[in-house]
Amino acid sequence: MKKLKFILVALTVMIAAVPASAQFRWGVKAGIVANKFSFSEKTFDSSNRVGFTGGVMAEFKLPVIGIGFDASLMYVHRTMSVAEPTGADLMKKADNKGRYTGDYLTLPIHVKYNLGLPVVGNFFSPYVFTGPSFSYLVSKDKTKFGINSRKGDIAWDFGLGFEIVKHLQISAAYELGCSRAAGLVYSGANGYKKNVRNNGWMVTAGYVF
């Protein structure tokens, strides 16, 4: 709860600091996510599975220079397969046949730069973005077959996209896990391991008003 309050306060401060001349837009977006756990040791392995996301967004853009930022509040359903390196599926010992799932509320806050194109800029405009993404676990079941998810984790996003006719935005971003997303309750003879990070891709389509 403290982390969620900190995120909301940080977002409020950032919005308050935006100049009055900035262009403000809001919209909705949805897409797919492909996540993969990164383990500190090779006791386990994971592979991408496709999840989904959807939510609302707000965008501030400074005039002329093309720099601004956007923030979104997204519901994210992560899913992936986890197995031991030997190929033995952990879920044969538990439930759900090797599929790990988790539901999150995620708040990405990105610095965004519009590359700008002469002539066609009003119809097709590419952009790049980067910034932190804060996730808060809302799933009731925190522990599944030896993986104990933390309530919150942080990633850093690197992405690019393009805007069509000033309303439709298509983007792709890589999420690099910066904090521990989960821990291993059981990992065979090697005991408990703490360093489990969540990395992944997110592809979204959005419409801004």
Please name which of 202, 131, 127 lies closest in space to residue 166, comparing C-alpha atoms: 127
* Residue 164 C-beta-side C-alpha neighbours within 13 Å: 7
Strand partners, 86: none
Q: In whole angstroms, what separates CA 168 from the centre of its chain? A: 20
Number of Cβ within 10 Å of residue 60's Cβ equals: 19
Structure pTM? Answer: 0.77
Q: In whole angstroms, what separates CA 48 from the centre of its chain? A: 14
Residues 112-156: tens digit of each pLDDT:
999 877 777 789 999 999 999 999 999 876 666 567 788 889 999
The residues, any chain, with a CB within 8 Å of residue 91's CB and separated by 6 or more, are: 82, 97, 98, 99, 145
Residues 53-99: tens digit of each pLDDT:
999 999 988 876 789 999 999 999 988 766 554 444 444 444 444 66
Q: Domain residues of the chain, as ranges?
A: 2-9+26-208
Task: Report the C-alpha gap between 67 and 62 in whole angstroms.
Answer: 6
* Residue 143 C-beta-side C-alpha neighbours within 13 Å: 7
Q: Which fold would CATH assign to domain 2-9+26-208? A: Porin (2.40.160)
Please name which of 64, 66, 62, 58 lies closest in space to residue 11, comparing C-alpha atoms: 58
Residues 155-202: tens digit of each pLDDT:
999 999 999 999 999 999 999 999 888 776 555 555 555 567 888 899
